[in-house]
């Protein structure tokens, strides 16, 4: 079969790498891809905001399945338009994508279906938001309702900080995303990312991961899209996985059926493991980036039948097999990221780095220029390794990075620190 993958980041390189291994695939196209994706798929310069053009491409190239990587095309309704044109798609429709697109929408579903999450209020004016903060006290969490590129969440230590955050959001700091504000109880615990597939009715757990959001070592500095990840997340025991499926994922899938927009695609649940059990922080309607990279390294099953089963509502017949090994990925980013950064610098040594055993170098913001690879984005490479535990995977990833010559980039040297400390303690 022929497949179109939409996206151009590290997540899509990992998906393309995995999809391309399937014997079921004829041609894999990627719109628009990057310097690494070009090695395992045919990159096409398709404007994915132009849905009729995407549909035309699929018809002209006998495409059987479209896999959507990022959230923006989903929130823009690309899955609805493809389905209406009779083209199968992995990814939720516009209404179902509200689980990521509107925090208030998700919180209301949690309230109605008793899904464990932080207590909250939704506000569309400054005065009532500030009154709620005064009643609840600090610490407290202030969030812009809509998509704000991961920057719309402020953990306020004091009532004044919360009031300032409310003023800033209603003043338009996040544009339309901040016309409504959600204010939440501050939850304490360890964070984990949980992934599950859903075909509209049936759900199937994938795997767990932990991300490193802060730019700096020791989890310091501003938040980013993610500077590294590993899978599985040691905090997520089998018992916790069962609870998350029963208490969070399945009730959400049911809620989406009940409101008339069954969810098809991947649930990416951000969880806080509190002393009272797992609680939902937020949903994303796509794979995490860089979490997807570590999931793809550990997945032993052919991914294509799974993607197709999600698209056709037949997930019930499937199971997934995973490597017991751990995977870890280190993000290399351009100097200056997540602030402003230069584009166009040359990266050398990628061939040598890729030759390390059990290592894959996934590309994010790169472009092939004749026979060199240039950095053209903020997050640029994901050096990803599989090892017998997180400590081993970490050693393999950093030793591959030693071969990469890119003076204009940087990376965190402590990716996996929490799991590595756990592994060390369990040996002592
Ligand atoms: P979000 O964009 O909703 O995932 O939030 C970004 C980060 O803010 C999360 O990964 C958590 O570290 C933190 N966070 C969000 N909501 C809460 C909460 N209610 N309690 C504690 N931390 C939170
Ligand atoms: N790494 C976090 C995300 O993909 O949202």
Tens of pLDDT, residue by residue over 161-190, are 999 999 999 988 888 876 889 999 999 999
Q: Given this model, what pLDDT does residue 145 score?
A: 87
Q: How far is the CA of 154 from the centre of ligand 1 (A)?
A: 8
Q: What pLDDT is recorded for position 179? A: 82
Measured in Å, residue 332 CA sits from the centre of ligand 1 at 24
pLDDT at 175: 81
**211 CB under 6 A from ligand 2?**
yes
Buried b / exposed e along 37-54 (16+ C-beta atoms within 10 A): bbebbebeebebeebeeb
- How close is the Cα of 235 to the center of ligand 2, in Å? 18
Closest ligand to residue 287's CA: 2
The enclosing H or E element of 204 equals strand 203-211
Q: So what's the pLDDT on residue 152?
A: 84
Nearest protein CA to atom 5 of ligand 2, as residue? 288
Alpha-carbon span 67 to 69, nearest angstrom: 6
How open is the CA angle 40-21-323, to the nearest 5 degrees?
125
Q: Are 129 and 103 in contact (CB under 8 A)?
A: no
Six-digit token string for 351: 């061939």
pLDDT of residue 371: 87
Residues 6+ apart with CB under 8 A from 141: 118, 153, 154, 155, 156, 183, 184, 185, 186
Cα separation, 61 vs 75, whole angstroms: 25
Partner residues linked to 63 by β-bridges: 2
Segments in the chain below pLDDT 50: none
What distance in Å separates the CA atoms of residue 194 and residue 268, rounded to the nearest whole number? 6
């Amino acid at each position: 079969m022929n497949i179109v993958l939409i996206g151009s980041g590290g997540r899509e390189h990992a998906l393309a790498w995995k999809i391309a291994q399937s014997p079921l695939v004829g041609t894999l196209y990627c719109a628009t891809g990057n310097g690494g994706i070009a090695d395992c798929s045919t990159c096409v310069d398709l404007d994915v905001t132009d849905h009729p053009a995407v549909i035309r491409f699929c018809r002209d190239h006998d495409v059987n399945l479209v896999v959507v990587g990022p959230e923006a095309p989903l929130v823009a309704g690309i899955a609805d338009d493809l389905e209406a044109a009779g083209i199968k798609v992995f990814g939720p429709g516009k209404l179902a994508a509200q689980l990521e697109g509107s925090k208030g929408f998700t919180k209301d579903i949690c309230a109605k279906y008793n899904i464990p999450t932080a207590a909250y209020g939704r506000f569309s004016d400054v005065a009532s938001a500030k009154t709620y903060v005064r009643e609840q006290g600090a610490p407290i969490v202030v969030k812009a309702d809509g998509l704000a590129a991961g920057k719309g969440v402020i953990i306020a230590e004091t009532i004044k900080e919360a009031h300032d955050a409310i003023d800033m959001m209603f003043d338009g700091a996040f544009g339309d995303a901040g016309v409504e504000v959600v204010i939440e109880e501050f939850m304490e615990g360890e964070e984990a990312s949980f992934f599950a597939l859903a075909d509209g009715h049936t759900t199937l757990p994938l795997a767990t991961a932990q991300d490193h959001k802060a730019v700096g070592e020791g989890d310091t500095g501003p938040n980013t899209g993610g500077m590294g990840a590993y899978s599985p997340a040691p905090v997520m025991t089998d018992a916790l996985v069962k609870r998350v499926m029963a208490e969070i994922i399945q009730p959400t899938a049911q809620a989406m059926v009940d409101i008339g927009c069954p969810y098809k695609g991947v649930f990416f649940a951000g969880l806080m493991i509190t002393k009272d059990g797992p609680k939902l922080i937020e949903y994303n309607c796509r794979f995490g980036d860089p979490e997807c990279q570590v999931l793809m390294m550990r997945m032993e099953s052919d991914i294509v039948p799974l993607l197709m089963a999600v698209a056709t509502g037949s997930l019930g017949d499937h199971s997934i097999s995973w490597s017991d090994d751990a995977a870890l990925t280190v993000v290399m980013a351009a100097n200056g990221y997540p602030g402003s950064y230069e584009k166009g610098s040359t990266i050398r040594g990628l061939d040598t780095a890729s030759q390390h055993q059990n290592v894959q170098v996934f590309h994010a913001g790169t472009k092939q220029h004749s026979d060199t690879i240039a950095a053209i984005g903020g997050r640029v490479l994901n050096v990803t390794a599989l090892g017998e535990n997180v400590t081993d995977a970490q050693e393999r990833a950093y030793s591959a990075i030693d071969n990469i010559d890119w003076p204009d980039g940087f990376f965190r040297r402590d990716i996996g620190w929490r799991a590595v400390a756990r592994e060390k303690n369990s040996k002592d």
